[in-house]
Amino acid sequence: MILPIVAYGDPVLRKETEEIDKDYPDLDILINDMFETMYNAQGVGLAAPQIGKSIRLFIVDAEPFAEDEPELEGFKKVFINPIIVEEEGKEWKFNEGCLSIPGIREDVSRKPDITIEYYDENWNLKEEKYSGLAARIIQHEYDHIEGILFTDKLSPLKKQLIKSKLNNIAKGNIKVNYRMRFPLLKSK
Ligand code: NI
């Protein structure tokens, strides 16, 4: 089932998320729905707060980047209760976007190498290292479960420049070709 994606301005994108356990109801269905929702919106990552659930869960599938970055072939994963234990290296810029913030893309600086601990969809505990674009996608989604959006990382000037755009997103004054839920949309 395709779920509506929560737009910028919704408090759920800012809330502290909670860890889940094996008893979390219908987790398989939720994960399937998140993949369906992400593919429908042509995203490469989706975090639970973006579909209104304040839990430590995100998914990624970087297949769309695999043509340019062969090491991303098959990079499809579920991260449950993740913790980034280390971030290293010299920061690099990449032009990021977000399904909750349609129509805005900006360069964001992040460190290139990460170590992450998490449970996969079968509740196997993993510790893995990622770098480059794979790390980037994980860092962006991880920020979501920490209540952080990529626009928070921009310079004060850039923030000022996109302020009205962000406001329009919250109000639903944008064109978007997937289902969204807008916090400030007034029903007409
Ligand atoms: Ni995002």
Ligand 1 center from residue 60 Cα (angstroms):
11
- How distant, in Å, are the alpha carbons of 88, 144, 146, 183 from that of 158? 26, 20, 22, 23
Decide if pLDDT at 3 tops 80: yes
Provide, rounded to the nearest whole percent, the portion of the chain with pLDDT above 70: 99
* Burial profile 115-135: b = 16 or more Cβ within 10 angstroms, e = fewer: ebebbeeeeeeeeeebeebbb
Q: State the catalytic residue, choosing from 18, 86, 141, 146.
A: 141
Instruction: Name the pLDDT band for 188 (thresholds 50, 70, 90).
Output: low
From ligand 1's centre to the CA of 70, what distance in Å? 23
Is 146 assigned a catalytic role? no
**pLDDT (tens digit, 9 = 90+) per residue, 92-105?**
999 999 999 999 99
**Superfamily classification of domain 5-181:** Peptide deformylase (3.90.45.10)
List the chain domain ranges: 5-181
Instruction: Note the pLDDT tens digit of each residue in 48-78.
Output: 999 999 999 999 999 988 888 888 899 999 9
Report CA(122)–ligand 1 centroid distance (Å): 24
Please give the distance, rounded to the nearest whole angstrom, from the Cα atom of residue 47 to the centre of ligand 1.
Answer: 7
Rounded CA-CA distance 66/129 in Å is: 18
